[in-house]
Amino acid sequence: MSGRVYAKYIICCFMSLMVFGGMIDASANSPNSAEAFIKLLSGNLRFNSGLSTHTNISAKRRKEVTTGGQHPFATIIACSDSRVPVEILFDQGVGDLFVIKVAGNVCNTDEIGSIEYGVDHLGTPVLVVLGHTNCGACTAVATGADVHGSIPDLIAPIRPALEKVKAAHPKLQDKALVSALIEANVWQAIEDLFLRSSSTRERVKMGWVNVIGAVYNIETGTVKWMGTHPEEESFLTRLEKELREQ
Ligand SMILES: [Zn+2]
**Per-residue pLDDT tens digits for 34-47:** 999 999 999 999 99
**Per-residue pLDDT tens digits for 164-216:** 999 999 999 999 999 999 999 999 999 999 999 999 999 999 999 999 999 99
**Span from the CA of 209 to the centroid of ligand 1 (angstroms):** 25
Closest of 112, 117, 154 to residue 129, by C-alpha: 112
Question: Which domains are delineated in the chain?
Answer: 3-245 (3.40.1050.10)
**Span from the CA of 31 to the centroid of ligand 1 (angstroms):** 32
**Span from the CA of 242 to the centroid of ligand 1 (angstroms):** 33
Residues 174/180/182/183 CA torsion (nearest 10 deg): 170
* d(C-alpha 228, C-alpha 128), whole Å: 9
**Per-residue pLDDT tens digits for 80-126:** 999 999 999 999 999 999 999 999 999 999 999 999 999 999 999 99
| Sequential DSSP letters for 82-139 | TT--HHHHTT--TTTEEEEE-GGG---HHHHHHHHIIIIIS--SEEEEEEETT-HHHH
**Span from the CA of 157 to the centroid of ligand 1 (angstroms):** 13
**Span from the CA of 131 to the centroid of ligand 1 (angstroms):** 7
pTM: 0.89
For the chain, what percent of residues have pLDDT higher than 90? 81
Residue 234: per-residue pLDDT: 86
* d(C-alpha 33, C-alpha 153), whole Å: 34
